[in-house]
Structure formats: C-alpha cells, structure tokens
Amino acid sequence: MDAREDGPKSVWRALAAEAGGTFFVTGAAMGVDLAYFVEHAADDVSRWLTRGLAAAVAIYTLSEISGAHVDPAITLGFTLRRVFSPAMLAAYWVAQFAGAFAAAALLQSLFGTAVGLGASHPGPAFTPLEAVLCEVVLTAIVMVVVLTTAKETPKVGKDAALAVGFTIAVCGFAAGPISGASMNPARSIAPLLLTRQFGLIWVYALGPLAGAALAVPIATAICGRPNQSEREAARGTARAGRRKVK
C-alpha cells in the first residue's frame, strides 16, 4: 500500500465523516431537547443518555476514518496536544460546523421557531458566567478521558467509544441543569445563530474551547508525552496506518 493513498481522497473522507458525525450528534442532542421541551415526550434520563450514546455511536462508526472528533473542542485539544495537524484544524472546524448547521436547519424546518429550545442554555437559576465555568470543567473532563484512552493502544478508536460516551452522559446528569452540558461549540452555536440568540454564543464558544485547552496539561501530567497511539486516535487509525506503510 502506497503512502500516497493518505492524500486528498482520504482527507475528503475524513472531512465528510466529521460533517456527518457532527450532524448526527447535533441532531440527536437537539432532537431529544425538543422532545423534552416541546413535545414533553422525553425525560432527563433520556436527554443525557441520548447525548452519550450518540457520541459513542459516532466514535465507534467513524474513528478509523477521521478520529471521530465531531466537536471543535476535541479537535483543538488534539492539536494542542500535538497529535493532530494544525493545518487540518480549520478544515475540521468547517466540516463540524457545516454538519451542525445542517442538523439545526433541518430541525428548524420541522419545529419552526421552537427549535431555539433545542439549543444549549444556562439553567434558570444560573448566570452565564456560572455556565461558562461549568462548560470549562465538563469539557476538560471529557478531553482528559479522550486523551488518556487514546494513550492506551488497546483502547484506540472503537474501544474508546464507551468510555467517552459514558463520560458525556455522566457530565449531563451531573451538570446539565447548570449549563445544558454542551461541551461542543458546533452543537450549541449552530442553533443559537439560527434562532438569533447571539448573547449566549460566547458561553458555548469560550467554555468548551478553554476546557479542552485546560485538559492538555492535565493529560500531560497524567500520561506524559504523546505517543503513536494518540496520533492514530486523533487522525483516524486507518489514515495513520497508511502513513506507516511505504
């Protein structure tokens, strides 16, 4: 197998996987929130389990193709950890936001202005500042789990799906009422923009990105320097594997 196979076609597949995966996790998160707030057809358990399970499915399905970041904060964390190319950061972000906007627009066509209820919001008893701090902590936890499982070769890719998915669900159960437990700028900013809730965008941009950045030195303290396993997890095991074959 020639290393050149990890060229433009492979990159486009990775970007398509990120767009599709983010479409899925955004649609699942917004859909269950709309079922909760609009249709009253879901409960709190359903809300947080849905998000965790959606993330697990995306990782299990797409990890070999793109690394299954499906979250700009995760991409930033991998980049700061120096296991993902800075040149690909912007491309992944564009793909992720494209997928999130597509999901939000689809739900807007079905629910109209009520789709705003599917966006992330601070709980009624909490300020935006408290929501930001909550997002920092939650995203840092998820990012540390992502990096530490990526460090262990047997858990790279599909086997990390359960660990990350359960972590997202637990974060939702523990702190969802504070900030909405977004941990994903694309998932939250897309519906906020579509419904003109501009005042909350900074909460769900700053919080998750700062949390991902904070997780990197924590992961370094726990795991030491990056290894090849982390690079494979960040890029996708199939793409990274092609690089090694000359």
Cβ(192)–Cβ(204) below 8 Å: yes
pLDDT in tens, 46-65: 999 999 999 999 999 999 99
pLDDT of residue 153: 54
Question: What tokens does 44 get?
Answer: 């709190």
What is Dmax (Cα atoms) for the chain? 58
Give the whole-number percent of the chain exceeding pLDDT 70.
Answer: 90
Over residues 120-162, the pLDDT tens digits come to 999 999 999 999 999 999 999 999 999 998 876 544 556 789 9
Tokens read off for 29: 């998160």
User: Is the model's pLDDT at 93 over the cut of 90?
Assistant: yes
pLDDT in tens, 154-186: 445 567 899 999 999 999 999 999 999 999 999
Provide the pLDDT for residue 245.
Answer: 38
Contact present, 115 and 34 (Cβ < 8 Å):
yes
Query: What confidence score (pLDDT) does residue 2 get?
Result: 31
pLDDT over 90, % of the chain: 80
Q: pTM for the complete prediction?
A: 0.91
Q: Give per-residue pLDDT as tens, 28-45.
A: 999 999 999 998 899 999
| Alpha-helical regions (H) of the chain | 8-37, 44-66, 72-80, 86-111, 128-151, 160-179, 185-194, 201-223, 228-235, 237-244
The predicted pLDDT at position 3 comes to 34
- Measured between alpha carbons, how far is 138 from 182 in angstroms, rounded to an integer? 9
Task: Give DSSP secondary structure letters for 148-185.
Answer: HHHHSGGGSGGGHHHHHHHHHHHHHHHHHHHH-----H
| Alpha carbon distance 182, 119 (integer Å) | 9
How confident is the model at residue 244, as a pLDDT? Answer: 45
Q: Which of 156, 164, 154 is nearest to 74 (CA)?
A: 164
Q: Which domains does the chain have, with CATH numbers?
A: 3-241 (1.20.1080.10)
Quick check: 71 pLDDT over 90? yes
Residue 85, both tokens: 């190319």
Nearest to 50 by CA among 38, 61, 36, 69: 36
Task: Record the tokens describing residue 151, joined without a space.
Answer: 């460090």
Buried/exposed 51-90: b ≥16 CB within 10 Å, e otherwise: bbbbbbbbbbbbbbbbbbbbbbbbbbbbbbbebbeeebbe
Distance of alpha carbon 192 from its chain centroid, rounded? 17
How far is it, in rounded angstroms, from Cα 225 to Cα 236? Answer: 19
In this prediction, residues 77-89 reach a mean pLDDT of 96
